[in-house]
Amino acid sequence: MNIYLILVLLFVGLTALIWTVMRVSLQGYVRYESVFTEVAETRLEKLFLFFDSKKIFFINVAGLVVLPIVIYLLTKTLFYVVLAIAVLLLIPKLAIRRLESKRRRLICEALPDALAQIAGGMRAGSTFINAAETMVRETRGPICQEFSLMLREQRLGMTLHESLDNLA
C-alpha cells in the first residue's frame, strides 16, 4: 500500500476524531454553562443577592482551567490536579449552601423580635399589614427582605394566606 494513502487516511481519521471531540466538548460546555447559570441565578435571587451568574460561571471556568495547570506545574502530580478539579467543581455549590444556611440562621434569630414587634403593633390597634409594614421600615437584614416581599405580594393581589404561605 502506498505510504501517501496511509498518511491521508491517518490525517482524515485524526481530523474526524478531533472534530468530534471538540463538538462534544462544546456541547458539554454549553450545557454546563446553562445549568450552572440558571441554578446559580435562581438560588442567589432567593437569597436577595443579585450577581451576574455569567461572570460567576466564567470565573469558575477560568479557575477550572488555570488552577489545575498551575498545580501540575508545581507538583508534577496528577492526583492533586484531579483533587483541585473536584474541589473547584464543588466550591460554588458549597458557597451557596453556606450563604443559604447563614441567611436561615439570621432569619431564625430575628424572627422572635419581628413577631413581637408585629404583635405589639396589633395590640396598639394596627392591622397585621400595618404592623408588618412598620416592622419592615424599622428592621434590617433578611427578615426585613422576606416580610417586604410578603407585603409586595399582598399589594399585587395575592391573598394574605397565599403571601404568608410564600413567606414560609
For 92, other C-beta atoms within 10 Å of its C-beta total: 19
The b-or-e profile of 106-128 (16+ CB within 10 A means b, else e) is ebeebeeebeebbeebeeeeeee
Query: Per residue in 37-74, pLDDT tens?
Result: 898 888 888 888 878 888 888 888 888 889 999 999 99
pLDDT for 78-115, tens place per residue?
Answer: 899 999 989 988 988 898 899 889 988 998 999 899 99
Q: Tell me the H-state helices in 47-159.
A: 53-75, 78-123, 128-138, 142-155
* Closest C-alpha to 132, from 153, 150, 155: 150
Q: How many CA atoms lie within 13 A of 15 on its CB side?
A: 6
* pLDDT tier, 141 (very low <50, low <70, confident <90, very high otherwise): confident
User: What CA–CA distance (Å, rounded) separates 13 from 17?
Assistant: 6
Q: What is the pLDDT of residue 54?
A: 87
Q: Measured between alpha carbons, how far is residue 64 from residues 29, 56, 57, 122 in Å?
A: 12, 12, 10, 54
Cell of 30: 454549553
Return the pLDDT at 158: 85
Q: What is the pTM of this model?
A: 0.69
